[in-house]
Structure 1
Amino acid sequence: MERQDPDPALKPALMQFDMALAEFARARRADPKASSLGVLERSRLLMTLPGGFDALYRRVRSLESAGIFGTSDWARPALLQPALAKHSLRAAGAVTTIVEALSELRMLAVTRGDYFHPGISAEQARHFLTQVMALNLDLLSGQLTEADRERPKQLGTIVLELYRYLVSHLGYESLLDSLVAEVWRLLDQGPVQVDSICEMTGQIAKCLYDPEMKTRGSSDATRLVRALFAPTPASAEDPGLAVYEQRLKDMDDLALSSEASSFARSMFDTGLASPYHAVMLRFLRDTGQDELIPNILGLTMTGLDDLYCYTELVHALIDEAIYPETCQAVYGLTMMLERGSLFTPSVAQALWRQIKLQPSAETNQALAETFGDARPPRVFLLAGVINLLGQPLGVGQGNNPTCQSAIGLSMWASNEADYLLQVLAWAARDNEVLSRFEGQEVSSRDLEPGLVKGTPVDVDPVSLVLIPHLDRLYGEMWRRCENRDEDAHRWINPEFYGWWVSHGFRAVTDVKTGEVRDYEGFIRHFYASYHPFYNGNIPVIHAQPAGIAVTDSAARFVGRHAINILRVALSPKNEMRVYFFNPNNDSGQNWGQGITCSTHGNGEFRGEASLPIAEFTSRLYAFHFDPLELGDLSAIPEKEVARVMDLGYTSWAAPTDRSPD
């Protein structure tokens, strides 16, 4: 079996594990009920190390012989249920999760013929693993949900690495249909960081076109593969970039125009741009055929106006930022122009500065370590800027506890792009971001690290550079407020995000005890501030930060999380819904009680999530509002208030689940 690269800490950890396993085996022979906690903890530690899963795989027979599964259901593998296995992996305690992980390593060994098990056949084991992996396809993106990220003892990361390990040895073939659906679900959310999506699409291509894999393709799978590898007639067989560029040189004007339009159709179909797209765009610039740029970008009237008013700037952005390695910036550029971003005062000037910006040595190193050295670091950063300005709702926090900072990036890209570019210039060039809090200047330079202790993981270039600074600033503001009698977000959010954050603020939990207080008044204030039927039909003018109590699929409290309320409106089904931005990389989460966030099919714009207003309010714990535009609190129906309270009290607000910050 192919092995993971070993970690220096692996050898001593293995020695300790083997001793613990031997001691456990002796104890179980003497007492069938002897504790397994010691060997399970050693197993958990191994799972956190590169090479650890390989080591456990080779010892799984010994683990079972020693009695690690005891007389539990795991001792009868043929009876195990994939749906229950998902719960054991994703929502159970540490002991259950580690035992389930060991059981799945056992299933892998049986599937591969490395372990003959009298209780289950290789075919049964493979079928079981296929179903478990299909049920956990969200892990293929490499992103952890808020619930996973908050789990203790690195359990979320362990499950993610287990999943990668299983997929690397079983392949994607049996997962194809589920995998294709998962990619489309992620694309519906308009992410700016698409590396994992492209990787998954590459795996889909292998499944479709590998002659040794007898897979049955679908039109949805084919569309994804073509979008990246064969988006146009001249690239139909994925000829390679050099061959494709030569073909462009041999085309006449009519063929070039047709090729450009094919690129635009493919890009808008999926939201993905191909490296071939970047090759042709640069070819048009190099050969002076700029008149085809609107065709290859697929611009409509707004985008054309932006392009024609700022032609020199757009051409400079193409020349400086768009290469095959940064090809997704083609889509970002299109969406930026379609949003009319360059008409916002000061944005064009700020982009000229960004084009000429020379990042610091520290910034260059961080960018190169994350995105490689195929292009200078400043190219990746500029491409990231284009993507973020084109898709403000596509930024995510990655596997980092930085929802507040990610909301800031999205909010500024939408409302105040010139400010975003200013703080980015400070961070990238000067390794410092300046801010003010209650009249005093705050600099990120000398502050202690916040929640992010190292380089952010799984984020776009702008986030990579800015998040550490923003995280430190937010943490410093929090420290200055932490001894106050009310929730610190009341004071921090307007100072951190901008003047448009409303001055009114309600939090339903007591800052010191965590007790829910005046729940009914809290709900009535939210409806009277945001529900068009009760606030005088005033729309959300500026997006407002809010705090939600995240729950898992069993409606159990996981933790608190920041989101951004974008609008409240009737859906196409005539249902009042709250449309919001969730920075956790996956807005389609199941919060229990039948509450599943929607990202498509209920009137969402790309990048939005939504819920019916009662369900959303049931998970809300803090929000801002305009006290001068508050509706009639008594007008909200008693039945609606009671429903929200019931959903809250039977989930996160239940007495046993209440938890202070």
Structure 2
Amino acid sequence: MTGLLQKLDAATLQLARAPDFSKPTRLQPVIDLARRVLQQSGGCAAIEERAEALEEAGVFEGSDWAQPAILVPSLSGQSLRGSDATLLVIEALSELRMLAVAKSRYQHSSLSAVAAKHFLTQVLALNLPMLFGSVGESERETQGRLALIPSLLLQHLAARIGFEHIIDELINEIWRILQQRPIQVDPVKQMITQISLCQANPEIDLGSSGQGANRLVSALFGPTQACHEDPGVDVYQQRLESMDTTALQYEATGFARAMHDTGLVSPYHAVLLKQVAQHGDQLLAEALGLSATGRDCLLCFRDLVHSIIDDCLFPETAQGIYGLALTLERGIFYQPPVAPALWRQLGLELAPWSRARLSAAFGDAVPHRARLMEGVLCMLGLPLGVGQGNNPTCQSARALSMWSYNDPDYLLQMVTWAARDDEIVMHFEGKPISSRESLSGVAQTLPLDLDPVSLLVVPHLDRIYAEMGRHCIGRDGDPHQWINPEFHGWWTGRGFRINVDVGTGHLHELESFYRHFYAHYHPGYNGNQPLIHPQPAGIAVTDSAARFIGWHAITIIRATVDPQGTTRVYF
């Protein structure tokens, strides 16, 4: 392999010295030689040593891999399993670069060692079968000898990171994510599924690791005694039909406990819910795990709840059960506009564009209206769990979260406009702005890695937000002082303070900013007045090395003293 490495070093040097216009022609020899090295024993270690030189030479230039901070672990499997040799090699080089950063061999300008290790842990978790040698026939057929590269790569990554800690770290990461109660849990379910498959595979020896996965696996695939062996929804339905009330109550309690413990909902839960809905509201409340508040709300709006269960909650949309339970617990059905708005949502006719978007993201296994209702319930029940995906749409995601938290009927109206009319009209300083007539938004492409509500509403909000920004061109200062009140709602403060000079990016008038911030939010300086309405704010995001990453939109929920006596701002 020594000769190959010498050729690779020479080709890398030529690529580094080549002018920009000729780099593409110099890149292919580097890729070809790297592929041959990666197929050798010890090749991954050799590439890891050269990771910094390869990146500086321009191997990733002009591609998504040039920005490692935006890479998504769940997409790695497509490259590693594909038949495109160039794509496979680039992915392998990128992950070995991540490894060099994680082991502090390479001080990267935009990626910390902690972030790199976190990324690789997820990559390993999502590709456990390949790591343990369980390569399918399709990979062997399509990749041929290339199939050796992902296997050697993942084994090298696991050995360097600490093979025995991969599963345990993954489980800890899953629990960390679930504690935040996100709306989107498909990536978590995917990781749990991979762990479950590896546990069930007799050819894979996990050793003493992975013991903490049982709660996660059982929450998804067997929360109760009647489905603990994951028999399939049809078999489980037959078992339920033969149960008496006592047995059904036992099942209902088990499902509710698993759901509220993890934030995950098993597909079997949807089967149970439809069954117990026929046996009275007491069992239904047990299956949803409701407190006295939720039970009262269920009894007051039982027709609406039963219609939602009958029309929209299926094994494929089971996560909506958790959203429904938490929505009932919030008691927002008592707000006069909410229940009628949900009845409207149940019968909403979706525009062709909306149906196409939902189909592209989630398929056609269930009616699109049911998929959207699942998203609505999750957003109403988990207003702080809204995510923006891998998209620069934090302003729109924040708006959805704020409306769900503070103004749920307005959120439902936005969903109706976007899903039914394929248009949202908002006003900026008295002038109507149509999402259909606006130019492009902040996001350059239509995002698909979103929950159902965001999938339909965010593209409209993003275009309106960008159009409001265009209306502010030429004004001095940060445009958000005009955009925020118009975009988010009347309860957004009209006053505005910023501690950065927009023109230069330097800190500016810090003392004045601190005084105003404390006077508005700190309970010790504002007469102990709690925050009434959530307020939009912007923060500068840095990594663990205090390196600036970018600006991010947040919502200030409250400022109060924590149990340890420290005054904190919660957002």
Which is helix-richer, 1 or 2? 2
Counterpart position of 2:16: 36
In structure 1, how many angstroms separate the alpha carbons of the residues matched to 2:98 and 2:491? 55
Query: Does the aligned pair in 2 maintain the 1:193–1:459 contact within 8 Å?
Result: yes
Counterpart position of 2:250: 258
Is the partner of 2:272 in helix, strand or coil? helix
Counterpart position of 2:268: 276
C-alpha displacement of 1:213 = 1.7
Distance 1:58 1:350, change over 3 A: farther
Query: Does the aligned pair in 2 maintain the 1:423–1:434 contact within 8 Å?
Result: no
Specify every segment of 5 or more residues in structure 2 that has no aligned partner in the other structure, as ranges.
54-65, 71-88, 100-112, 127-148
Counterpart position of 1:295: 286
Query: Does the aligned pair in 2 maintain the 1:433–1:443 contact within 8 Å?
Result: yes
Equivalent in 521, 526, 529 of residue 535 of structure 1? 526
In structure 2, how many angstroms separate the alpha carbons of the residues matched to 1:200 and 1:536? 48
Distance 1:91 1:468, change over 3 A: closer
C-alpha displacement of 1:415 = 1.0
Residue 347 (str. 1) matches residue 338 (str. 2): yes
Equivalent in 197, 209, 213 of residue 206 of structure 1? 197
Query: Does the aligned pair in 1 maintain the 2:219–2:265 contact within 8 Å?
Result: yes
Counterpart position of 1:233: 225
Distance 1:340 1:55, change over 3 A: farther
Between 1:99-108 and 1:289-298, the stretch displaced more is 99-108
Residue 137 (str. 1) matches residue 137 (str. 2): no
Residue 550 (str. 1) matches residue 541 (str. 2): yes
Query: Does the aligned pair in 1 maintain the 2:375–2:453 contact within 8 Å?
Result: yes
Counterpart position of 1:615: none
C-alpha displacement of 1:453 = 3.0
C-alpha displacement of 1:25 = 4.5
Distance 1:555 1:105, change over 3 A: closer
Structure 1 segment 339-418 matched on structure 2, within 5 A: 339-418=330-409
Counterpart position of 2:312: 321
Query: Does the aligned pair in 2 maintain the 1:540–1:567 contact within 8 Å?
Result: yes
Q: What does the per-residue CA deviation read over 1:539-595, in whole Å, with 9 as the maximum and x for residues that have no partner?
A: 111111111111122111111111111111111111111110xxxxxxxxxxxxxxx
Query: Does the aligned pair in 2 maintain the 1:57–1:105 contact within 8 Å?
Result: no
C-alpha displacement of 1:266 = 1.0
Distance 1:186 1:166, change over 3 A: farther
Counterpart position of 1:524: 515
Distance 1:37 1:456, change over 3 A: farther
C-alpha displacement of 1:167 = 5.7
Aligned residues: 493
Is the partner of 1:548 in helix, strand or coil? strand
Specify every segment of 5 or more residues in structure 1 that has no aligned partner in the other structure, as ranges.
1-21, 47-51, 76-87, 93-97, 109-128, 143-161, 581-661
**Which amino acid is 2:339 matched to?**
A
TM-score by length of 2: 0.78
TM-score by length of 1: 0.68
In structure 2, how many angstroms separate the alpha carbons of the residues matched to 1:168 and 1:452? 37
Query: Does the aligned pair in 2 maintain the 1:191–1:396 contact within 8 Å?
Result: yes
In structure 2, how many angstroms separate the alpha carbons of the residues matched to 1:340 and 1:457? 31
Equivalent in 476, 480, 488 of residue 489 of structure 1? 480
RMSD: 3.9
In structure 2, how many angstroms separate the alpha carbons of the residues matched to 1:469 and 1:453? 13
In structure 2, how many angstroms separate the alpha carbons of the residues matched to 1:486 and 1:579? 26
**% identical aligned pairs:** 49
In structure 2, how many angstroms separate the alpha carbons of the residues matched to 1:176 and 1:430? 46
Residue 449 (str. 1) matches residue 440 (str. 2): yes
Query: Does the aligned pair in 2 maintain the 1:193–1:460 contact within 8 Å?
Result: yes
In structure 2, how many angstroms separate the alpha carbons of the residues matched to 1:230 and 1:465? 33
In structure 2, how many angstroms separate the alpha carbons of the residues matched to 1:408 and 1:343? 22
Q: What does the per-residue CA deviation read over 1:417-443, in whole Å, with 9 as the maximum and x for residues that have no partner?
A: 111111111111111001111011111
Counterpart position of 1:430: 421
Residue 180 (str. 1) matches residue 171 (str. 2): yes
Query: Does the aligned pair in 1 maintain the 2:323–2:381 contact within 8 Å?
Result: yes
In structure 1, how many angstroms separate the alpha carbons of the residues matched to 2:506 and 2:125? 37
In structure 2, how many angstroms separate the alpha carbons of the residues matched to 1:91 and 1:44? 26
Structure 1 segment 37-116 matched on structure 2, within 5 A: 57-58=35-36, 60=38, 102=93
Counterpart position of 2:457: 466
Counterpart position of 1:563: 554
In structure 1, how many angstroms separate the alpha carbons of the residues matched to 2:504 and 2:244? 73
Is the partner of 2:350 in helix, strand or coil? coil
C-alpha displacement of 1:535 = 1.4
In structure 2, how many angstroms separate the alpha carbons of the residues matched to 1:559 and 1:224? 34
Query: Does the aligned pair in 2 maintain the 1:336–1:390 contact within 8 Å?
Result: yes
Bigger RCO (CA 8 Å, 6+ sep): 1
Equivalent in 205, 213, 219 of residue 221 of structure 1? 213
